Chains A and B, each alone.
Chain A
Amino acid sequence: MKLSKLGRALEWMHDHSKLFSGVMLVAMALLVIANFVFPAGYDRFFWESLPGAGAIYGLFSCFVIVVVSKFLGYKFLYRPEDYYDNESRSNELTGDPVQREANDE
């Protein structure tokens, strides 16, 4: 299938993602360094005046969220995809109750 110009441009970026992630990492490092040079200007909480606190909290949050979510998922929340399929079948309360009780046993 023929790609549009925009599609081709995006494909090029996708194929050179190493380059872009390198640029991104440098930018992130510069951002943290800049935070050391220019103070944030808030001090309502102690961490607001710590340079690089946002970066640390971002990584920390990401880690906590993924670990906690996946833990809850595997431990309690995940079910097979057909878990609620009983709803698209006809109501279990209709039909012959004797039959149903026989099935239950």
Chain B
Amino acid sequence: MNEVQATAQAVADTGFWLHPSIVLILGALVIPFLRGSLQQGYRVALALVFIFLVFQTQAGVYGEFQFAGLDVVTGRADKLSLAFAYVFSLITLIATIYSLHVKDNIQHVSALFYAAAATGVAFAGDLLTLYVFWEMMMLASVWLIWRRATQTAYAAGYRYLLVHAVSGVMLLAGIVLFYGESGSLAFDQMQQANNWAFYLILLGFLINAAVPPFHAWLSDAYPESTITGVIFLSALTTKTAVYTLIRGFPGTDFLIWLGVIMALWGVVYGILANDIRRLLAYSIISQVGYMVAAVGMGTVIALNGATAHAFTHILYKSVLFMAAGAVITMTGKSKLTDLGGIYKYMPITFLLYMVGAASISAFPLFSGFVSKTMIVEAAAVEGIAWVWLLLSMASAGTFLYTGLRLPYYAFLSKDVGLRPKEAPWNMLLAMGIAAFFCLFIGIYPAWLYSFMPFPVEYNAYSAGHLFWELQLLLFTGLGFFLMIKYLGGEPKISVDTDWAYRKWAPKVVIAVADGVRQTWRAFIGALRGLMNGVWQSMRRTYGDQGVMGQTWGIGATTIWVVVFMALYGLYVVLF
């Protein structure tokens, strides 16, 4: 890492740099004023300008200034941040094309703000800038969920917002402590000596990276988001978190095991899921698990692997989500139990999905193979056998549910009578571009490797890797067909850690509220009983029937008056 930063410093360029995010944000603000094909053309042109600006960016440090005694560095570009910015800009174009038919200015503007913020995080030179873009990402992205305009999307969006607000608060608290201790806002590798700051910032990043048990926001919200918005969502939030982890926390040992747990967690829920986009959401968690584990290893090959896998992941995952979105758009169904037999009506979508599926499963000649095997290889170099075996198992699982289960039950299997048309041209074009990159990277990995933060001395296509991966995957396929009758969709949902705040916490809140109210009512009741007792006893004495409250007849009164006056007379006379 230091070497990279040194190069960045060496070419430190105080010259003018047009921050691509600023251009994208300003450009997005124009969108609502345009209509029809003019707006469509403008959106594509804007995405192209964004790509151009990102690819034009030279390594260096930009926009340094003093503000209220703080050294602010708004821009820093080195190989690591550029690798992420490149793929963020590519996906912005792909997702824009995919959503070309959508007429919803709020979605268009917020999606581009979101992409700009994610790129801003990648280019952030200090923690303050990082934090600003971090929060902007959250505020922009939630609209991509809410604009689905269903009751569930609305609720899921709120939960998404709340979880990310917690992440933001952790990050901010960590930054404040970090500044207090070190007097610096620089965002480099964190030193564990700054204990609280270290763990708070790490926690903020881990929540956004969807690391269990803080991952449920992802599998909760993404399947409820808009068909086109999820392409941005699946690409940006978790991958910016991976970027910040690579930058700030390489070699943090326990991340290895968190990553392995994450990879397998996604597999288990992917096998159980019935909603196709929920299945794919869990496969994001699983794949990001590889990256988190690689960050934990922290070696050169591992960090290259994490960066490479983030790059390829964004592209193949977008193909998968786009194909799933096309299926939902054309059939109106999103569950494995409702789908089937549509491959011949949507053959292009089906084949493009399979390209993405082969990539995520790491078949040779597809992009996942050249990046995922790098992370597994890093575990082999380190000699950590369990990590190696469990990540290999997660690879088999990935193929099992993303590459076999979903396409088999959604596209093939029995014909359920759906007769959808093929997806519209812009969806197919966007999928095609992303699928092209999946194949291109798989066949020519040197292109991808040239973006990596460290020089790559890794050959994915060795006999050992080919034999192992092909055997692993093909025999997993055999296992799938042997156990096929247990792998269909079931009309059920699976509870995850979001159960804690969706079921348990509301129950607790209601129980506490009822408890408090009942205690208060009991108290008031007891008080009223007491008051009533006093009232009753007063009534007994002074009331209508009471001794003191009775009215007497004139005669009796006269007698008593006479008696008392006589007694008084006696008193006066005698004493």
A-B pair number, CB within 8 angstroms? 189
B397 near A83 (CB under 8 angstroms)? no
| A92 vs B511: C-alpha distance when bound (angstroms) | 11
Contacting residues, chain B, for A66 (C-beta < 8 A): 271, 400, 479, 483, 486-487
Contacting residues, chain B, for A39 (C-beta < 8 A): 463
B478 near A28 (CB under 8 angstroms)? yes
Quick one: given A31-B471, A58-B473, A80-B492, are A45 and B502 in contact (CB under 8 Å)? no
B380: contacting residue among A10, A27, A45, A104, CB under 8 A: A45
Quick one: given A31-B471, A58-B473, A87-B155, are A41 and B464 in contact (CB under 8 Å)? yes
Among B4-12, B27-35, B173-181, B385-393, which stretch is in contact with chain A? B385-393
The secondary-structure label for the interface of chain A is: helix
| A88 vs B492: C-alpha distance when bound (angstroms) | 18
Contacting residues, chain A, for B383 (C-beta < 8 A): 44
CB distance from A90 to the nearest CB of B (A): 10
Contacting residues, chain A, for B269 (C-beta < 8 A): 69, 77
A97: contacting residue among B381, B478, B514, CB under 8 A: B514
A101 near B514 (CB under 8 angstroms)? yes
Contacting residues, chain A, for B72 (C-beta < 8 A): none
B494 near A31 (CB under 8 angstroms)? no
Contacting residues, chain B, for A32 (C-beta < 8 A): 471
A43's nearest neighbour on chain B, judged by CB, is B464
Interface: A1 (CB within 8 A): yes
Q: Considering only CB atoms and an 8 Å cut-off, how many residues of chain B contact the other chain?
A: 66
B267 near A58 (CB under 8 angstroms)? no
A93: contacting residue among B419, B486, B513, CB under 8 A: B513
| Docked complex: A58-105 residues within 8 A CB-CB of B | 58-59, 61-66, 68-70, 72-73, 76-81, 83-84, 86-88, 92-93, 97, 100-101, 104
| Docked complex: B321-341 residues within 8 A CB-CB of A | none
Quick one: given A57-B392, A77-B495, are A7 and B344 in contact (CB under 8 Å)? yes
CB distance from A68 to the nearest CB of B (A): 7
| A55 vs B392: C-alpha distance when bound (angstroms) | 12
B268 near A58 (CB under 8 angstroms)? no
A88 near B155 (CB under 8 angstroms)? yes
Contacting residues, chain A, for B389 (C-beta < 8 A): 57
Interface: B480 (CB within 8 A): yes
| Docked complex: A27-55 residues within 8 A CB-CB of B | 27-28, 31-32, 34-35, 38-42, 44-45, 48, 52-55
Extra inter-chain contacts (19) besides given A35-B467, A40-B464, A48-B380, CB under 8 Å = A1-B345, A1-B419, A4-B422, A8-B344, A10-B350, A14-B343, A24-B474, A32-B471, A39-B463, A53-B471, A54-B472, A54-B475, A57-B392, A65-B397, A66-B400, A66-B486, A70-B272, A77-B496, A83-B495
Closest 3 A/B residue pairs (Cβ): A62-B479, A54-B471, A58-B475
B interface residues (Cβ-Cβ under 8 A, vs A)? 151-152, 155, 267-269, 271-272, 343-345, 347-348, 350-351, 380-381, 383, 385, 388-389, 392-393, 396-397, 400, 412, 419, 422, 462-464, 467-481, 483, 486-487, 490-496, 502-503, 506, 509-510, 513-514, 517-518
Sample 7 A-B pairs with CB under 8 A, ordered by A number: A39-B463, A41-B463, A61-B479, A73-B272, A73-B492, A81-B493, A87-B151
